[in-house]
Amino acid sequence: MRAIIFSVAFGLVNVVAMPLHKVEGKCVELKDFSKAQKNVILKAFKYGLKSGYGYTMAAIAWKESCAGEYKMNFADPSAGIYHAHIPGLLKKNNQKDTGFMRNMVGELLIRDDEYASQVALDELLYWHKVRNGNWKEVIKSYNKGFSWEKDSERDKMAQNYYEDVARRVEALQAYIPKYVATLSKQAKNDKALLFLGKTPQLAHNPAPRTPSPKPYNTQKPHTQTKLALQTRDYQTRTATKKQVFMELPQDLDTNTKSHSLSNPKIKKQNPNTGEFYLLQEH
């Protein structure tokens, strides 16, 4: 009796010691993923990348198993990081649906992520062909097969599944390039991004814009301005002097002109500027 009580008490202590989100079966936020969860997401992305289902597989792995945290669902039953439906997988491979075979396939899906990824991608590509590349219908069919076409309740469930996966794809579009920026450049033809009208982010930090080339100029800006001012001032002074000497014969009579030329101290006022100029004898 004491051994039983001790065992029960020890089990309760272990349950209490577990993180609350694990006890409740909840998934942490993307920003709080552990290193192991990040690796699951990135591996899923890489596995589906060449087929155009990189972001889709990463989103499904996040949704179905919280990126590998919960690999078994006895209610379906399904297993693996993508929660492949075990009875459907047995039927697809012409295997007998027995308890032993379910256990064997379930164990394989849990133990071997590579195999689980292959099963998930094969399923997506199958529905891609059946649904003529309509990504929304592919995701709904991955969840509910053909049944959502005939049953309104199952159609609603499949629609909710699609919307959830689509939201996760959008979140992962900003998350994944932080860790695999080089690989994210290959997601230009990603089926999910194309369907959702999203532009792939090629890197976390975008490359700086190349400034437009400036016109070639050998002179520095301040030097050019100073030279222009000096030139303009010289031209103004030259023009003023020419104007004064050109107007001098018309402004003075013969006596005044003779007197002014013989007297170097006589000044003449410019009628335009009001300045006085000393007239020198030539």
Q: How confident is the model at residue 231 (pLDDT cuts 50, 70, 90)?
A: low
| Spans of all domains in the chain | 32-196, 221-278
Q: Check residue 206 and give its pLDDT.
A: 43
Instruction: Average the pLDDT over 276-280 and give the result.
Output: 51
User: Distance (Å, rounded) from C-alpha 173 to C-alpha 225?
Assistant: 51
Has residue 274 got a pLDDT over 50? yes
Pairing assessment for the beta strands 267-269 and 276-278 based on DSSP bridges: antiparallel
Q: For 87-104, what is the mean pLDDT?
A: 93
Q: What is the pLDDT of residue 201?
A: 54
> What is the reported pLDDT for 186?
86
Please, which pLDDT band fits residue 140 given cuts at 50, 70 and 90?
A: very high
Q: In the predicted model, is pLDDT for residue 220 greater than 50? A: no
pLDDT at 46 over 80: yes
Local confidence band at 101 (pLDDT 50, 70, 90 cut-offs): very high
Residues 224-240, mean pLDDT to the nearest whole number: 54
List own/partner pairs for 49-53 with CB under 8 A and 24 or more apart: 49/183, 49/186, 49/187, 49/190, 50/186, 51/121, 51/124, 51/125, 52/189, 52/190, 52/191, 53/121, 53/124, 53/125, 53/128, 53/190, 53/191, 53/192
pLDDT tens digits, residue range 6-23?
444 445 444 444 454 444
Cis peptide before 249 (omega within 30 of 0): no
How far apart, in whole angstroms, are the C-alpha atoms of residue 56 and residue 162? 10
Taking only the tens place, the pLDDT of each residue in 156-214 is: 999 999 999 999 999 999 999 999 888 888 888 999 999 999 765 544 444 444 454 55
pLDDT surpassing 80 at residue 124: yes
229 pLDDT higher than 70: no
Task: Give the β-pairing of 267-269 and 84-85.
Answer: unpaired
**What pLDDT score does 71 carry?**
95
Q: Answer yes or no: are the C-beta atoms of 80 and 123 closer than 8 Å.
A: no
Residue 259: what pLDDT?
Answer: 43
* pTM for the whole structure: 0.64
User: What pLDDT, on the 0 to 100 scale, is given for residue 262?
Assistant: 44
Is the confidence at residue 91, as pLDDT, over 50? yes
Single-letter residue type at 187? A
Residue 102 has pLDDT above 70, yes or no: yes
